[in-house]
A and B are shown apart, each in its own frame.
Chain A
């Protein structure tokens, strides 16, 4: 049985504002299918097997970039980030304060006790929950987006999961842009219609030149935020560009200072 200490602690916190978009990362080929079908289909994954799900990160275009995790997936090599309205993804199935895939692969073992289970970190599946996590562990939305844990957070000794999570997000990782450890993950059972649900999409500029893609995006009133494709040879080279695009979009939409 899962423990509810972290869930209860988070639930008592105020929810930081403003609410951020929910970011779903996919690849260039799937984007074409999604736009043609008008919906995002859930997919099977290793962590919750037999349960097709759609994954989102709260506000952050977080995804894996470390080559030492095996082959880089195409959605990491040529990523497309769909920025969903936070009201569009409902009902939320599960929320974790980190990437559940990383937990499953024991990437956080250094910070967590070996008896801790993924379920111990499950949070209230409510759109206000990410804001509550931010209030407690990051203080501000901007600090969360920049993966900067609040230095002054004090936690009771009995809050084992919260203290472990704090230790995890305070670590200085070798690749600081791989910030999935503190990216709040939301799961949705899907499928999810995209019409009226997506505000913007970050995509390679080649794709942005496609009349087919452009017409579909215009029809769904999705802002296209292109990043340059031709000078990119490794994912790590354009992670920063994708972050910059997302953050600038938030700033100019009034979500960040």
Chain B
């Protein structure tokens, strides 16, 4: 006859149920575990190879099939109680009501369920859900739906189904959305329950602990909406309000129909409605036109304080010079968007990249759409991430509202090194007036294999050390090998010669340029392929003469001056006769593509 030999203890720093281990005879290596029936009697023993992983017990007890089963519980201080279910219930019920287990809501739930204390069970479930949710919203929702409610729903359904359909219950899925339990049923089960009145009594009784008070049924292969009521979801959502064509393209609106786009978590059905009355974040996509800015401001003023208001402003392709020839101070102008907008993101990336080719403006607009979408997606990934801020105030506490925001984005392939994708994302975020390293928060959004890559973590550490940035990373729900970089709290700097030089060097560095020697007016360096070059910098037509003179003094064959203003073709030609390529910094890639053999020319407006 098997007798008690010890207990399997799952965790020693938690009060918990233990698994009594028996042996068939003294000294035997055959460890046995009881199979317990619904009346708490031993239905059989089955052998488990536990090795030495259990603790011996001094309890002397012999057991056989048909006997009252033995249950075990270990308190936090290591005391083990072994008894039949009735006796152990009495003991644990008292200790539960005295609050001994309040620090361990999952264990509290186990005990309440074991003791059949429904209200204590509901309260423990609710606390456990909050606890898990504080660590991860995703894990909490899965635990609630799969570990707690789904087994009950299957039992409830099984009671209502004929035998031949019960085997199909393995494919049932349960999703708690808003106040509704949505059950996805295999087609034959759905057809059956659709024609009969079913009662999900136990599921709803426990579901109410999580605020789930009704249910809806849906066939998995039917592709339709749940029969009733309309499904809702708990997660926060966003809204994208386009004020420009780029905004419409980012919102995927048709050209003839501009509308606010609702931003839902990717795992939520598009037909589902949010439980929240208002969006957690509202994005307004605009450009720098005065009338557009005014319309956006008017719209943002109509929003409540319960939504985080974010302006995404796409800059025009101006090469720093307006149509009338005046220098633009766009960034300063955009300060007018405050304090109505909490954040103002500047999308100027499209200006940086090759304003040449067949249709440079169209290509630039397409790139602007990409960066607007990256900005929207990056922030929504933050909102939907585990442990995300729950209120605008919490959001503001993490992401500084002063200064401006920048966005960078790069897409790689399966084989692209994560650090290369990050480098390209940084390069795409560079802005002449907004130095990324003057920001207060830098965020990388990428799939797990990039976010957790050693190079990326090291970059974030270095960025945090070397700049004013605090750094963080978010795992994207999109598995593509891509990086979105978001900079917050970036203060604009003046349009000075030194900033222009610093910016151009950032730009050159992102193109694998390394400095060999620095002089006051020029920099000697080389690109990865080994060709040396002398580079001068000029941020105004006044300083251009000085810059070209300094470059001309050097003996290098390859010489250029990077400007932040556009040159006429005749001026470009004039300097090229002196073998100096003078061009706007945005044409750098074109210059490099031509192997630095010709000064690039902008196609003009």
Contacts and interface: CB of A to CB of B under 8 A. Distances in A.
Given A72-B46, A85-B449, A229-B17, A210 B11 contact: yes
Contacts of B151: 241
Interface in B68-120: 104, 106-107, 110, 113-114
A70 B48 CA distance: 9
A165 interface: no
Contact of B139 (A77, A225, A231): A225
Nearest to B50: A74
Residue from B47, B110, B478 having most chain A Cβ neighbours under 10 A: B110
A233 B36 contact: yes
Contact of B478 (A28, A244, A254): A254
Contacts of B453: 196
Given A206-B110, A241-B151, A211 B48 contact: no
B30 interface: yes
B234 interface: no
Contact of A85 (B14, B104, B448): B448
A229 B110 contact: yes
Interface stretch (A52-60, A95-103, A156-164, A245-253): A245-253
A177 to B, nearest CB: 8
A205 B11 contact: no
B11 A207 contact: yes
A208 B14 CA distance: 10
B110 A78 contact: no
Nearest to B34: A233
A67 interface: yes
B244 to A, nearest CB: 30
A245 B142 contact: yes
Interface stretch (A109-117, A181-189, A212-220): A212-220
B141 interface: yes
A199 B476 CA distance: 13
B283 to A, nearest CB: 22
B295 to A, nearest CB: 36
B16 A209 contact: yes
B568 interface: no
Contact of B449 (A87, A223, A249, A254): A87
B138 interface: yes
B257 interface: no
A18 interface: yes
A223 B34 contact: no
A196 B51 contact: no
The prevalent SS among residues of B at the interface is: mixed
Contacts of A200: 139
Contacts of B139: 200, 223-225
Contacts of B156: none
Determine chain A's interface SS by DSSP, over half rule.
mixed
Contacts of A234: 35, 46
B106 A226 contact: yes
Interface in B417-456: 448-449, 452-453
A240 to B, nearest CB: 6
B187 interface: no
A225 B142 contact: yes
A248 B142 contact: yes
Nearest to B52: A29
A230 interface: yes
A230 B478 CA distance: 36
A1 interface: no
Contacts of A214: 135
A205 B266 CA distance: 28
Contacts of B35: 233-234
Nearest to A220: B452
A235 to B, nearest CB: 9
Nearest to B148: A228
Contacts of B46: 67, 72, 234
B338 to A, nearest CB: 35
B146 A248 contact: yes
Contact of B146 (A87, A206, A244, A254): A244
A223 B146 contact: no
A5 interface: no
Contact of B104 (A199, A209, A245, A251): A209
A233 B146 contact: no
Contacts of A87: 449
Interface in A52-85: 67, 70-74, 77-78, 85
A249 B478 CA distance: 14
A209 B48 contact: no
A227 interface: yes
Contact of B51 (A74, A211, A244): A74
B267 A228 contact: no
A4 interface: no
A241 B106 contact: no
Nearest to A240: B170
A130 interface: no
B433 to A, nearest CB: 36
A43 to B, nearest CB: 13
Contacts of A77: 33, 48, 50
Contacts of B107: 206, 209
B136 interface: yes
Contacts of B48: 71-74, 77
A225 B148 CA distance: 12
B11 A248 contact: no
A152 to B, nearest CB: 18
When A and B form their complex, which 3 residue pairs have the shortest distance between CB atoms, in order from nearest?
A196-B452, A210-B11, A71-B47
8 contacts: A74-B8, A77-B33, A78-B8, A206-B110, A209-B11, A221-B452, A254-B478, A254-B479
Given A74-B48, A199-B448, 15 more contacts: A32-B11, A77-B48, A87-B449, A195-B452, A206-B10, A223-B139, A223-B386, A225-B139, A226-B147, A227-B147, A229-B10, A230-B110, A249-B142, A252-B142, A253-B477
Interface of B: 8, 10-11, 13-14, 16-17, 19, 30-31, 33-36, 46-51, 53, 104, 106-107, 110, 113-114, 132, 135-136, 138-139, 141-143, 145-148, 150-151, 170-171, 173, 266-267, 386, 448-449, 452-453, 475, 477-479
